[in-house]
Structure 1
Amino acid sequence: MQTVLIVVHLIIVLALIAVVLLQRSEGGLGLGGGGGGGGVAGFMTGRGQANALTRATAILAALFFVTSLTLAVMSHRSAAPKSILDTGAPAKAGSQQAPAGADNLLDTLRKAQDRTPETAPAQPATPAQPSGPPTAPQSR
């Protein structure tokens, strides 16, 4: 459906360009009359030409806006919202693989969240160390 609408849109665009170029400019040198379009000079003359081309331009412009808005709405509705957290970056064929033991931060946090207190390994209680410069060991 979208492809058909794009083709119709392009036909409307080409017709609109042709109709605008056929109109007589204020200087009288448009493609539709005067010296610009020799073979089309006797096609329509006077007010009939101006009314028909003006009407055709208005109709084609309205169709252009309708098809443009329809394509925009169809494009917006077909695009589903995506989360960057659900999809990972695609792996390239020549890229280096991370070592087996190295996880990224997100995987590490997920593993820590999945652990229950019963399955978490017991960590020995260590006293808090000052964050100053390292000190030399004291001898006894």
Structure 2
Amino acid sequence: RKDVYLGRRSILTDFEGKFFGKTVYFVFATTGAGVCISKTLAEKMEPWAGAGKFLATSRALGHADDCTLGFIITNRLKVNLTVTNLFHSHMENLAKLDPTTLQKQVVFSHRTLNIINITSNLTNTKVFDLNADPTRFYSLHCLVHPESFFCK
């Protein structure tokens, strides 16, 4: 029932853009780390995002989808981004995450050679060797869902 926009910023300052020739400022959460928008807020976005209007808004702004979401929400609708450190982008060093907090995190993204630090001495769940699990996402899954058939 509330307007909620959750996510993680990739740019820490307000972002500047042009919308139909006018300078606009807004904040956006990177979709590389994931975002969460309440249903109430999503419904209010309809004038800029419903029925194919999102692409037109994005083109008028001249920026990517995550920027466009942030523009609609923080500039047009005046709803603030609630920043969370539980969403993780492929742009951050996932090996630096505290392994004891992994079960509490919400979103992980991946890129080559950017792996989560999960080792068998840090958990009592199954940890696959790096050849079988080079991304560590199988091992992460077993940490979060040890009851899964392939984790036994």
Higher strand share: 2
Higher helix share: 1
Structure ID, larger Rg: 1
TM-score, normalising length: structure 2: 0.19
